[in-house]
Structure 1
């Protein structure tokens, strides 16, 4: 394990709990001067100290992990690289900022997000004036990234909901339906024409839960479990949403939906049983889907949440994209990162999945910084059956660091140690510094700035 210097983060945790250095030092069984040196980054946080900090301050020691900071470093680097007329910021400076002042780093991301929203509104208004159309109001703010950031801060693991879901005595579809009925809720199915917008609709006044008849049994069970979570654990979910400190009603509604879906996944795939099965079957997603009666995407999503302290699963990155490259889901328990401002990489295996539906594809991919990952990808679709019926089509991908790839069944037959077996991919054209990429769509901001810097150097 590399040395960890995150003194400002430790100091912030101590101050949030209104503890003096002397009090925390006593609780950790170290001298106040030792604690003072750690908070001033003059001494590293050792593994035994990290474990004691986690116990005393009741936090997951992984908040001091470099993996926890790497995606935030990459996000801030993207934002600063996208600002015109600014000097390049070194990676060492960014790491120091994120590791010691993560709140400031997240504030930078929030400022950039608001700037982007303001720019979009300005462009919309300009287009309306240019076309002599009446003003139809400003663009509604998107809350998806804010909810995603909240889940990433929790490392995609919501222990309170996992514990609540594991207490369910029976997670079968019939048991979930009966449990809803005991709460006075009637479960009915509706025609599948609304599947693109409503997988479930709950009428609180009539106490009727409508499910689309285009869903299969496992999908209906998932939606019943999600609604059950909103009813039986409303107070817990409200508390989690409040603690998230989201900025808008849309973000709070999105968080409530995400948390109810998290509960549903945890109910159908209870943490302990699911982790044991995953390890037993070497993370064979199709076998896990069959065992727990869920879909391929649901298993991938669940694998990205297995971060229980002392009982964690394989650290993975999960993403879902459409044919146009829009990323609709992105969760990471690793240091892997794709840019928010430059799109994703066309050389990434996830896009090949659209041309080979039904097959699980594999790729060893190497990032510009040398980080190498094993990726699997598969095409999935949802929607009603029938000729010309509307449906949704996505590709989902699951990846892990190459050092952990041997734990996956998908690594069998691959030479994980051969550098030539890896496909060079990037974080997105705008912020990718590969100068020899055959698939580049437009110039890199980083490369153009390096050229400007070299011309200005005497």
Structure 2
């Protein structure tokens, strides 16, 4: 296969399915045979220039959207796994990796899972031998679910459509608290009660059919928890089917996935796809204005922006992450080429770490990765307090942004793009796979680099990368 051939079977299939067309109907609109379309969707043949132009012209798709997506994320994760010294003698080329990802993605997924198990086994063998005897070398259920959402582009088509239809019936996003409570109480006979002594954000008593909410939780949290309860009764069968089809290895992962799908439905219900996507474009992704318009929290808005991947109506490809003070990434997704570290901490140059020093203010950064990718990165600190003076407060940072080619769609980039010579901060995925030789705040040497030590000279980092 020559360079430049485009295998986009998954994208083409999703586009056809989203319109409820069979292969014959879709092939007719593209002006090709049904057999050729079948080969494209099966990734047995690349799309020709004629078909690519038809997709762009007739379905208003951007070439960048068609070429990107899951392939980029899988290639990034696959490449990171192969940087391990274990594979040093093999040295596959970038083209070799692309061939595997394009023609045998299941093999790439299998190797990533195997490498994860290997890394966990290696790390735990040094400290906790007994855990290996209990089978702890496999991915945890939480990590398995995290990867599932990552590789489906953080977009669940059937669930998103169902939530949008229900939102239309309920008149959302107007008066979400009132509309959600009426729906639960009048149609599903679920009473909603606000409790002063309630510890949980949401607790459903099935015997009395009563939903207990924490009285002191913010309104956005209360309505989101009502939407989660509504997801269980309105879309329970759909969620069960989607989770079962994911093929998780353990019952725990299946149940954790259902929680994620309930939350997905809740976000899609409170911020319906069409209306939210239009508002994001009109308000130029001003997350504070979007939060006000949809009566949502900024975290809910940022998370929803990262899910706008509906075939035929995609939003701006974004990345989104939530990071705690210790540097742990507790939420993450990227529809861009920027990927987050799967092992170890995030790059210390990334502006998400600065957000903890600037409470309530959005930190902006123009960043560049070692592969030449350039990004607008935005970060802000968010705090949540449950209760009064003695209530528990949780603080973390949100990071979101896009590639600079799409930065004009963000209000935050205006004066940055107007600067004659934009300065880009050099960031990486993580120190262990970043090959920058002159980074003064590197925490670890790169695992594929050789290091040298000069006893007669001490720089900020006590070694040189060769």
Q: Normalising by structure 2, report the TM-score.
A: 0.81
1:308 paired residue number: 310
CA shift digits 1:309-341 (9 cap, x unpaired): 222211111111011110000112222112212
Going from structure 1 to structure 2, the CA distance change for 1:32 and 1:283 (only over 3 Å counts) comes to closer
Preserved CA contact (<8 Å) 1:9 1:100: no
2:444 paired residue number: 442
Preserved CA contact (<8 Å) 2:30 2:54: no
Aligned-residue offset at 1:47 = 6.2
Which deviates more from structure 2 when the two are superposed, residues 30-39 or residues 143-152?
30-39
Pick the aligned partner of 1:91 from 85, 90, 94. Answer: 94
1:453 paired residue number: none
Which deviates more from structure 2 when the two are superposed, residues 317-326 or residues 439-448?
439-448
Aligned-residue offset at 1:237 = 0.6
Going from structure 1 to structure 2, the CA distance change for 1:233 and 1:427 (only over 3 Å counts) comes to same
Going from structure 1 to structure 2, the CA distance change for 1:444 and 1:47 (only over 3 Å counts) comes to farther
2:432 paired residue number: 430
Preserved CA contact (<8 Å) 1:342 1:427: no
Aligned-residue offset at 1:407 = 0.8
Which deviates more from structure 2 when the two are superposed, residues 227-236 or residues 204-213?
204-213
Query: Aligned with 1:189: secondary structure?
Result: strand
Q: Count residues in correspondence.
A: 429
CA shift digits 1:256-288 (9 cap, x unpaired): 111111111111111111111111111111011
Query: Aligned with 1:240: secondary structure?
Result: helix
Pick the aligned partner of 1:376 from 372, 378, 397. Answer: 378
Preserved CA contact (<8 Å) 2:217 2:387: no
Pick the aligned partner of 2:193 from 171, 183, 188. Answer: 188
Alignment partners' CA distance in 2, 1:200 and 1:176: 14
1:5 paired residue number: 6
Alignment partners' CA distance in 1, 2:273 and 2:8: 33
Mapping for residues 65-104 of structure 1, pairs under 5 Å? 65-84=67-86, 86-87=88-89, 88-104=91-107
Pick the aligned partner of 1:160 from 158, 161, 166. Answer: 158
Q: Normalising by structure 1, report the TM-score.
A: 0.83
Preserved CA contact (<8 Å) 2:385 2:393: yes
1:113 paired residue number: 116
Aligned-residue offset at 1:66 = 3.3
* 5+ long unaligned stretches in structure 2: 15-22, 453-466
Going from structure 1 to structure 2, the CA distance change for 1:274 and 1:255 (only over 3 Å counts) comes to same
Going from structure 1 to structure 2, the CA distance change for 1:418 and 1:101 (only over 3 Å counts) comes to farther
Aligned-residue offset at 1:108 = 1.2
* 5+ long unaligned stretches in structure 1: 14-20, 130-134, 451-458
Query: Aligned with 2:449: secondary structure?
Result: helix
Alignment partners' CA distance in 2, 1:66 and 1:364: 21
